[in-house]
Amino acid sequence: MTTAIKFKKSLTTQSPLGVLLISEGGALGENAKALDKKLKGFIKSAIKDSEKFTGKHGQTLLLPVPGKSDFKRILCLGIGKTTDLDQAKAEALGGKLYAAVKGAGAQEAALMMDALKTDKKQNPDALYASMAMGFKLRSYRFDKYKTKKGDDDKTIKSLSLIGSHYSAVSGLFRPMSFVAEGVFVARDLVNEPPNTINPPAYAKYIKKELSGTGVRVEVLDEKKLKALKMGGILAVGQGSAQKPCIVIMHWNGSAKSKTSAPIALVGKGVTFDTGGISIKPSAGMDEMKMDMGGSAAVVGTMKALAARKSKAHVIGIVGLAENMPSSNAYRPGDIIKSYSGKTIEIMNTDAEGRLVLADCLTYVQKKYKPGTVIDLATLTGAMMVALGHEYCGTFVNDDALWQGLETAAGQTTEKLWRMPLDEVWKKDMESLTADLQNLARTNGRWGGACTAAGFLEHFIEDGVKWAHMDIAGTAYIKADKPTVPKFGTGFGVRVLDRLIANEYE
């Protein structure tokens, strides 16, 4: 369950909690001034008496209401300097508001929309829509497996945004809400335990989730993968009783899209990664259910595109496998043949995601001839070391594509950082006994995210615009952020949706 976002011109019944905007320095907004006058200066006096609340961005002050009012209680929300407000700060404000309303124990709240005096570059209605988006994103919970739920597990039922310009704000929020639903799908997938989201179950989930949306779904099961000689994904999945598969999602919103060739989104979907024969340490292995975060982002994006009736032509493809050790598992020293025909020497079975991606990348380019390919993968621990949980390292072979991604990132608060591609790293993935190897030959552990990208670059056809997003650090977090509860983040859905809206519709 997530929170319903409503838009109204005025209150028709008393609200359990009224949210009033206060600027830095304790300056009351127009709605706060009107209520303060009615309450004979109570709000201004309470703010003055407060030792900590000054109206800085994200600060809150919960107050009782002495006398008759449209609200049972008041929550003063600090918005900082109105001229400093932008989309990112407005979203964060919405997320912090959710936490404050939840902390107040309220199930419903009404945000009174003032006429914000913002920077000329900012649209006040868009800022309110962004606040609503932040509130919505923070409302996500994954508690379906809890048999008993306490007060902390309750989700706020609704937030109403009240003001004369409610219709304009509602119109701006509507497409955002569709994207939020896509984010929630991606979060759900990452948060699901690996015993419920194994490759066959995952494929069924995708078909069910996208049923009736207009997205056409095709599944390549193990038999078809063998017929196609997809040696990469088959090797990764051969140690598991849960057989690998590839799921292809087709969305063509309009023949009038900006490009005739589709854009392809490719996701790594290793539903659980033990490391295989090159087994990982047991500490923290439970988190390896998130190793399908790239595929989750692709599924969530396809959901969002269909929901908002995108006019783009998009192919989503996800390679699903479980990397397990067994007598049937692939081994260090093996040489396998990928779908591209290139042979790959296996140096470490825990460098498996690139093998799955290699087959998916080759297949989507060969069959659908996309002009642009973007892959997402929780690919390397090296990326987490480099950029932590804040930025997604992004390797791009085309400056215009990077500019589009950078713009989309700025519009969605999903942060990207451009990483270098270099022939040195590409060449370092060449094997002495096969065409390629799945770990760098001379660099060893150094520059691991860069050499992994160099490996993938071998599977990109000439003339294809390509971006590789290593979301190892951004797909899963252990502490709440203003708009992102801990665990699965759904990272990638928003930036991809915005890129497609900007450049391909």
Averaged pLDDT, 405-428: 97
Q: Is 280 a catalytic residue?
A: yes
- Sorting pLDDT into bands at 50, 70 and 90, what band is 118? confident
pLDDT category at 472 given cuts 50, 70, 90 is very high
In the prediction, which pLDDT does 101 show?
97
Confidence of residue 121 (pLDDT cuts 50, 70, 90): confident
Q: What 3 state SS string does 394-439 have?
A: EEECCHHHHHHHHHHHHHHCCCEEEECCCHHHHHCCECCCCCEECC
* Angle of the 124-138 helix axis to the 166-191 helix axis, nearest 10: 30
Q: What is the mean pLDDT of residues 81-108?
A: 95
Instruction: Kindly state the average pLDDT of the residues 251-268.
Output: 85
pLDDT grade for 258, boundaries at 50, 70 and 90: low
Question: Over 70: is that where the pLDDT of 257 sits?
Answer: no
Residue tagged active-site, from 33, 280, 311, 342? 280
Judge if 4-164 and 180-503 fold alike in CATH terms. no
Q: Which of 472, 260, 276 is nearest to 383 (CA)?
A: 472
pLDDT given for residue 150 in this prediction: 75
The mean pLDDT value for 301-314 works out to 98
- pLDDT of 7 above 90: yes
Report, as an integer, the average pLDDT of 424-433.
Answer: 97
pLDDT bin (cut points 50, 70, 90) of residue 248 is very high
Report the pLDDT value the prediction gives residue 240, as an integer from 0 to 100: 99
Provide, rounded to the nearest whole percent, the portion of the chain with pLDDT above 70.
98
Q: What is the CA radius of gyration of the chain?
A: 25
Q: Could you identify the residue written with the tokens 């006398």? A: 67
- First-last CA distance in the chain: 32
Report residue 485's pLDDT band, with 50, 70 and 90 as the boundaries: very high
Of the pLDDT bands very low, low, confident and very high (cuts 50, 70, 90), residue 187 is very high
| pLDDT confidence of residue 69 | 87
Q: What is the mean pLDDT of residues 18-43?
A: 93
The pairing of strands 335-337 and 372-377 is unpaired
Measure the CA angle with vertex 47, ends 44 and 51; round to 5°.
155
Q: What are phi and psi of 213, to 5 degrees?
A: -90, -15
For the cut 90, the answer to whether the pLDDT of residue 436 exceeds it is yes
pLDDT on residue 154? 78
- Given a cut of 90, whether residue 277 has pLDDT beyond it is yes
Q: How far is residue 361 CA from its own chain's centroid?
A: 21
Please state, for a pLDDT cut of 90, what percent of the chain lies above it: 91
| Catalytic position from the list 354, 465, 494, 498 | 354
Query: Across residues 170-194, what is the average pLDDT?
Result: 98
The average pLDDT across 395-412 equals 98
For Cα atoms 116, 119, 120, give the angle at the middle one, nearest 5 degrees. 105
Residue whose entry in the numeric block shows the structure tokens 């914000």 = 116
Cβ neighbours of 480 (radius 10 Å): 13
Secondary structure of residue 270 in the 3-state scheme = strand
Residue 174 is among the residues annotated as catalytic for this protein: no
**Secondary structure class of 305 (helix, strand, coil):** helix
180-503 folds as Aminopeptidase (3.40.630)
Q: Give yes or no for residue 259 having a pLDDT over 80.
A: no
The DSSP letter of residue 151 is G
- Tokens 């713009």 correspond to what residue? 407
CATH topology of domain 4-164: Leucine Aminopeptidase, subunit E; domain 1 (3.40.220)
The full set of domain ranges for the chain reads 4-164, 180-503
- Is the pLDDT at 63 greater than 80? The verdict is yes
What is the rounded distance in angstroms from the CA atom of residue 398 to the CA atom of residue 403? 9
DSSP annotation of 122 reads: S
Average pLDDT on 86-91 reads 95
Check pLDDT > 80 for residue 360.
yes
* Mean pLDDT value of segment 291-301: 99
Write down the mean pLDDT value for the chain: 96
* Encoded amino acid at 156, one letter: I
